[in-house]
Amino acid sequence: MLEITNLHATVADKPILKGLSLAINAGEIHAIMGPNGAGKSTLGYTLGGRPGYEVTDGSVTFDGADLLEMAPHERAAAGLFLGFQYPVEIPGVSSLQFLREALNSQRRARGEAPLSGGEFLKLARAQASALEMDAEMLKRPVNVGFSGGEKKRGEMVQMGILAPKLAVLDETDSGLDIDALRIVGDGINRIMRAPDKAVLLITHYQRLLDYVRPDYVHVLADGRIVRSGGPELAHELEREGYGALAA
Protein backbone atom coordinates (compact mmCIF):
# COMPACT_ATOMS: atom_id res chain seq x y z
CA MET A 1 0.00 0.00 0.00
CA LEU A 2 2.79 2.44 0.96
CA GLU A 3 6.33 2.19 -0.37
CA ILE A 4 8.88 4.75 0.85
CA THR A 5 12.30 4.50 -0.81
CA ASN A 6 15.42 6.46 0.20
CA LEU A 7 13.37 9.46 1.30
CA HIS A 8 15.27 12.66 2.02
CA ALA A 9 13.45 15.78 3.25
CA THR A 10 14.43 19.17 4.59
CA VAL A 11 12.70 21.78 6.73
CA ALA A 12 13.95 25.36 6.36
CA ASP A 13 16.91 23.94 4.37
CA LYS A 14 17.85 21.67 7.29
CA PRO A 15 18.09 17.96 6.40
CA ILE A 16 15.75 15.94 8.61
CA LEU A 17 14.99 12.70 6.75
CA LYS A 18 18.18 11.15 5.44
CA GLY A 19 17.42 8.08 3.37
CA LEU A 20 14.36 6.59 5.04
CA SER A 21 12.86 3.45 3.48
CA LEU A 22 9.73 1.63 4.63
CA ALA A 23 7.08 -0.62 3.10
CA ILE A 24 3.60 -1.05 4.57
CA ASN A 25 1.20 -3.63 3.16
CA ALA A 26 -2.58 -3.57 3.39
CA GLY A 27 -3.76 -5.13 6.63
CA GLU A 28 -0.65 -4.12 8.58
CA ILE A 29 -0.05 -1.78 11.51
CA HIS A 30 3.46 -0.34 11.82
CA ALA A 31 4.73 1.69 14.77
CA ILE A 32 7.63 4.12 14.55
CA MET A 33 9.42 5.06 17.76
CA GLY A 34 12.50 7.18 18.35
CA PRO A 35 14.02 10.04 20.31
CA ASN A 36 13.03 13.67 19.98
CA GLY A 37 14.36 15.23 16.79
CA ALA A 38 14.71 11.91 14.98
CA GLY A 39 12.32 12.94 12.20
CA LYS A 40 9.11 11.16 13.23
CA SER A 41 6.77 14.12 12.84
CA THR A 42 8.64 15.26 9.73
CA LEU A 43 7.85 11.89 8.17
CA GLY A 44 4.15 12.33 8.92
CA TYR A 45 4.02 15.88 7.61
CA THR A 46 5.97 14.94 4.48
CA LEU A 47 3.53 12.12 3.71
CA GLY A 48 0.62 14.49 4.29
CA GLY A 49 2.09 17.16 2.01
CA ARG A 50 2.48 19.95 4.55
CA PRO A 51 4.03 23.09 3.03
CA GLY A 52 7.61 23.74 4.08
CA TYR A 53 8.60 20.08 4.08
CA GLU A 54 10.68 19.69 0.92
CA VAL A 55 11.53 16.28 -0.50
CA THR A 56 15.02 16.41 -1.99
CA ASP A 57 15.43 12.76 -2.96
CA GLY A 58 13.63 9.43 -2.92
CA SER A 59 10.11 8.33 -3.76
CA VAL A 60 6.81 7.50 -2.09
CA THR A 61 4.21 5.30 -3.76
CA PHE A 62 0.70 5.04 -2.29
CA ASP A 63 -1.68 2.48 -3.73
CA GLY A 64 0.37 2.40 -6.93
CA ALA A 65 0.40 6.20 -7.42
CA ASP A 66 3.19 8.74 -6.89
CA LEU A 67 2.19 10.32 -3.59
CA LEU A 68 4.69 13.16 -3.88
CA GLU A 69 3.06 14.40 -7.09
CA MET A 70 -0.30 14.85 -5.35
CA ALA A 71 -1.54 18.01 -3.62
CA PRO A 72 -2.54 17.52 0.04
CA HIS A 73 -6.27 17.39 -0.77
CA GLU A 74 -5.59 14.81 -3.48
CA ARG A 75 -3.70 12.65 -0.98
CA ALA A 76 -6.68 12.85 1.37
CA ALA A 77 -9.14 11.94 -1.38
CA ALA A 78 -6.92 8.99 -2.31
CA GLY A 79 -7.36 7.67 1.22
CA LEU A 80 -4.51 9.10 3.31
CA PHE A 81 -5.41 10.43 6.77
CA LEU A 82 -2.93 12.40 8.89
CA GLY A 83 -3.59 12.65 12.61
CA PHE A 84 -1.81 15.52 14.34
CA GLN A 85 0.09 15.52 17.62
CA TYR A 86 -1.53 18.89 18.34
CA PRO A 87 -4.89 19.15 16.51
CA VAL A 88 -5.54 22.74 15.49
CA GLU A 89 -8.48 24.89 16.53
CA ILE A 90 -10.69 26.47 13.86
CA PRO A 91 -12.84 29.18 15.46
CA GLY A 92 -16.14 29.92 13.75
CA VAL A 93 -16.42 26.59 11.94
CA SER A 94 -18.49 23.87 13.58
CA SER A 95 -17.08 20.36 13.63
CA LEU A 96 -20.19 19.07 11.86
CA GLN A 97 -19.83 21.61 9.06
CA PHE A 98 -16.13 20.92 8.71
CA LEU A 99 -16.51 17.15 8.66
CA ARG A 100 -19.42 17.13 6.23
CA GLU A 101 -17.56 19.35 3.78
CA ALA A 102 -14.41 17.24 4.12
CA LEU A 103 -16.26 13.97 3.56
CA ASN A 104 -18.35 15.16 0.64
CA SER A 105 -15.41 16.83 -1.10
CA GLN A 106 -13.55 13.52 -0.93
CA ARG A 107 -16.59 11.61 -2.17
CA ARG A 108 -16.94 13.96 -5.14
CA ALA A 109 -13.25 13.55 -5.95
CA ARG A 110 -13.78 9.78 -6.07
CA GLY A 111 -16.89 10.11 -8.23
CA GLU A 112 -19.26 9.21 -5.38
CA ALA A 113 -22.49 10.98 -4.50
CA PRO A 114 -22.30 13.33 -1.49
CA LEU A 115 -24.17 12.37 1.66
CA SER A 116 -27.34 14.24 2.51
CA GLY A 117 -27.57 16.16 5.76
CA GLY A 118 -29.57 13.37 7.38
CA GLU A 119 -27.21 10.64 6.20
CA PHE A 120 -24.21 12.55 7.43
CA LEU A 121 -25.73 13.27 10.86
CA LYS A 122 -26.50 9.58 11.34
CA LEU A 123 -22.91 8.67 10.47
CA ALA A 124 -21.42 11.39 12.70
CA ARG A 125 -23.55 10.43 15.70
CA ALA A 126 -22.63 6.76 15.30
CA GLN A 127 -18.91 7.55 15.18
CA ALA A 128 -19.13 9.91 18.16
CA SER A 129 -21.01 7.30 20.18
CA ALA A 130 -18.39 4.66 19.38
CA LEU A 131 -15.72 7.02 20.76
CA GLU A 132 -17.83 7.75 23.87
CA MET A 133 -18.08 11.39 22.80
CA ASP A 134 -21.21 13.49 23.23
CA ALA A 135 -22.48 14.21 19.71
CA GLU A 136 -23.47 17.70 20.89
CA MET A 137 -19.78 18.55 21.04
CA LEU A 138 -19.65 18.28 17.25
CA LYS A 139 -21.80 21.40 17.04
CA ARG A 140 -18.98 23.42 18.59
CA PRO A 141 -16.17 25.08 16.60
CA VAL A 142 -13.44 22.61 15.63
CA ASN A 143 -11.40 21.79 18.76
CA VAL A 144 -12.16 25.17 20.39
CA GLY A 145 -12.33 24.73 24.16
CA PHE A 146 -11.65 21.01 23.90
CA SER A 147 -9.31 19.27 26.33
CA GLY A 148 -6.36 17.34 24.92
CA GLY A 149 -8.27 14.08 25.24
CA GLU A 150 -11.39 15.55 23.60
CA LYS A 151 -9.33 16.79 20.66
CA LYS A 152 -7.89 13.31 20.12
CA ARG A 153 -11.31 11.69 20.38
CA GLY A 154 -12.64 14.23 17.91
CA GLU A 155 -9.82 13.34 15.55
CA MET A 156 -10.77 9.66 15.82
CA VAL A 157 -14.39 10.61 15.01
CA GLN A 158 -13.05 12.42 11.95
CA MET A 159 -11.07 9.33 10.94
CA GLY A 160 -14.14 7.13 11.38
CA ILE A 161 -16.22 9.42 9.18
CA LEU A 162 -13.61 9.72 6.42
CA ALA A 163 -12.77 5.98 6.53
CA PRO A 164 -9.26 6.28 5.03
CA LYS A 165 -7.17 3.50 3.54
CA LEU A 166 -4.02 4.56 5.39
CA ALA A 167 -3.87 6.43 8.69
CA VAL A 168 -0.64 8.18 9.68
CA LEU A 169 -1.10 9.01 13.36
CA ASP A 170 1.46 11.34 14.93
CA GLU A 171 1.63 10.80 18.70
CA THR A 172 -2.09 10.21 19.05
CA ASP A 173 -1.43 9.16 22.67
CA SER A 174 -0.09 12.61 23.58
CA GLY A 175 -2.20 14.25 26.28
CA LEU A 176 -4.44 11.25 26.93
CA ASP A 177 -5.34 9.94 30.37
CA ILE A 178 -5.78 6.21 31.00
CA ASP A 179 -9.45 6.06 30.00
CA ALA A 180 -9.01 8.23 26.90
CA LEU A 181 -6.03 6.12 25.85
CA ARG A 182 -8.15 2.98 25.94
CA ILE A 183 -11.00 4.63 24.03
CA VAL A 184 -8.71 6.02 21.34
CA GLY A 185 -6.84 2.72 21.04
CA ASP A 186 -10.10 0.83 20.67
CA GLY A 187 -11.18 3.38 18.06
CA ILE A 188 -8.06 2.85 15.97
CA ASN A 189 -8.63 -0.91 16.04
CA ARG A 190 -12.31 -0.59 15.15
CA ILE A 191 -11.80 1.82 12.27
CA MET A 192 -8.49 0.72 10.78
CA ARG A 193 -7.81 -2.92 11.62
CA ALA A 194 -9.00 -4.45 8.35
CA PRO A 195 -7.42 -6.35 5.43
CA ASP A 196 -7.76 -3.36 3.07
CA LYS A 197 -6.44 -0.69 5.48
CA ALA A 198 -3.12 0.12 7.15
CA VAL A 199 -1.75 2.29 9.95
CA LEU A 200 1.55 4.07 10.53
CA LEU A 201 1.56 4.88 14.24
CA ILE A 202 4.18 7.39 15.43
CA THR A 203 4.70 7.29 19.18
CA HIS A 204 7.24 7.77 21.96
CA TYR A 205 5.83 5.19 24.33
CA GLN A 206 4.77 1.58 24.60
CA ARG A 207 1.47 2.37 26.32
CA LEU A 208 -0.65 2.94 23.20
CA LEU A 209 0.79 -0.23 21.68
CA ASP A 210 -0.78 -2.21 24.52
CA TYR A 211 -4.12 -1.37 22.88
CA VAL A 212 -3.09 -1.14 19.22
CA ARG A 213 -0.78 -4.09 18.83
CA PRO A 214 1.47 -3.45 15.81
CA ASP A 215 2.74 -6.02 13.37
CA TYR A 216 6.09 -4.23 13.15
CA VAL A 217 7.99 -1.70 15.24
CA HIS A 218 10.71 0.51 13.75
CA VAL A 219 13.32 2.69 15.46
CA LEU A 220 13.86 6.04 13.72
CA ALA A 221 17.06 7.91 14.56
CA ASP A 222 18.81 10.76 12.75
CA GLY A 223 16.39 10.65 9.84
CA ARG A 224 16.48 6.96 8.99
CA ILE A 225 15.19 3.65 10.29
CA VAL A 226 18.00 1.94 12.19
CA ARG A 227 16.21 -1.14 13.49
CA SER A 228 12.96 -3.04 12.91
CA GLY A 229 11.27 -5.87 14.76
CA GLY A 230 8.03 -7.15 16.17
CA PRO A 231 5.97 -5.83 19.11
CA GLU A 232 8.62 -7.06 21.54
CA LEU A 233 10.96 -4.33 20.26
CA ALA A 234 8.71 -1.68 21.81
CA HIS A 235 9.07 -3.33 25.21
CA GLU A 236 12.84 -3.43 24.77
CA LEU A 237 12.86 0.28 23.98
CA GLU A 238 10.71 0.98 27.03
CA ARG A 239 13.18 -0.88 29.25
CA GLU A 240 16.48 0.24 27.76
CA GLY A 241 15.81 3.54 25.98
CA TYR A 242 16.96 4.54 22.53
CA GLY A 243 20.67 5.11 23.04
CA ALA A 244 22.07 1.62 22.53
CA LEU A 245 19.56 0.64 19.84
CA ALA A 246 20.00 3.76 17.73
CA ALA A 247 23.78 3.80 17.92
Q: Residue 59 is part of a domain; what is its CATH number?
A: 3.40.50.300
Percent residues over pLDDT 70 in the chain: 98
Looking at residue 15, its pLDDT comes to 97
Q: Say whether 82 sits in a helix, a strand or coil.
A: strand
| Closest listed residue to residue 199, CA positions, set 46, 30, 43 | 30
Tell me the C-alpha distance between 120 and 62, whole Å.
Answer: 28
Looking at residue 1, its pLDDT comes to 95
Tell me the C-alpha distance between 62 and 75, whole Å.
Answer: 9
Looking at residue 135, its pLDDT comes to 87
Q: Is the pTM of this model over 0.85?
A: yes
For residue 9, the cross-strand partners are: 17, 55
| Closest listed residue to residue 155, CA positions, set 191, 122, 121 | 191
Looking at residue 227, its pLDDT comes to 93
Q: How many domains does the chain have?
A: 1
Looking at residue 246, its pLDDT comes to 44
Provide the residue range defining the domain that includes 236. Answer: 2-246
| Residues of the chain where predicted confidence (pLDDT) is lower than 70 | 244-247
